[in-house]
Chain A
């Protein structure tokens, strides 16, 4: 069983479109995260939710909107996609803040 699963694995779309990425974890963790890894491989946190509550909101354009329907799911919706949004987006989860995080396989987003 996959511990942290994301869909889709690949997303190719045109500039200006709106897209969503879904994430689910079956580890019973309370905290979930979204990270962006750019072409230089730098992994940067975007958002974090603890038990459905937003606790970390980094300097991210408001075109990005996370949503956590329950503590096992964290989705990411992106409006008006731009070329600079091309990256790999990773979902992760941990038992609590500051604890080891387990990552999903990533969603490779390519903007044409």
Chain B
């Protein structure tokens, strides 16, 4: 069983719609959770961090965390073509980040 699992996609989203990305993790002791965006040929860029259950909003992004279900998600509202990228879920486990394989998002005009 992979420690951090994401759907690989591609997730096709019409411009202006909401993109919903999901991530599950195996380590119940994890306390820190992150979403990174990676454009093709570029480095991962931190877009959200979340540490407690519930929702956290930052601009068009909302991260949701449910530790009991070992589930973290990312919503992208009013999706733009510039949001087309791979989104990596990262979960802190034993002092290191475990990354999921990433979900590719394609926003279509």
* Interface residues of A, Cβ cutoff 8 Å to B: 40-45, 48, 55-56, 90, 97-106
Q: Which B positions have Cβ atoms within 8 angstroms of A?
A: 31-32, 34, 38, 42-46, 49, 86, 88, 90, 92, 95-99, 101-102
| A43 and B88 within 8 A (CB) | yes
Known contacts A42-B99, A43-B88, A98-B92; decide if A103 and B44 are in contact (CB<8 Å).
Answer: yes
Q: Is the interface of B mostly helix, strand, loop or mixed?
A: strand
* Complex CA–CA separation, A101 to B42 (angstroms): 15
A-B interface contact total, Cβ < 8 Å: 46
Q: In angstroms, how far is the closest chain B Cβ from the Cβ of A8? A: 15
Chain A binding surface, main DSSP class: loop
For the complex, what is the distance from the CA of A100 to the CA of B43, rounded to whole Å? Answer: 14
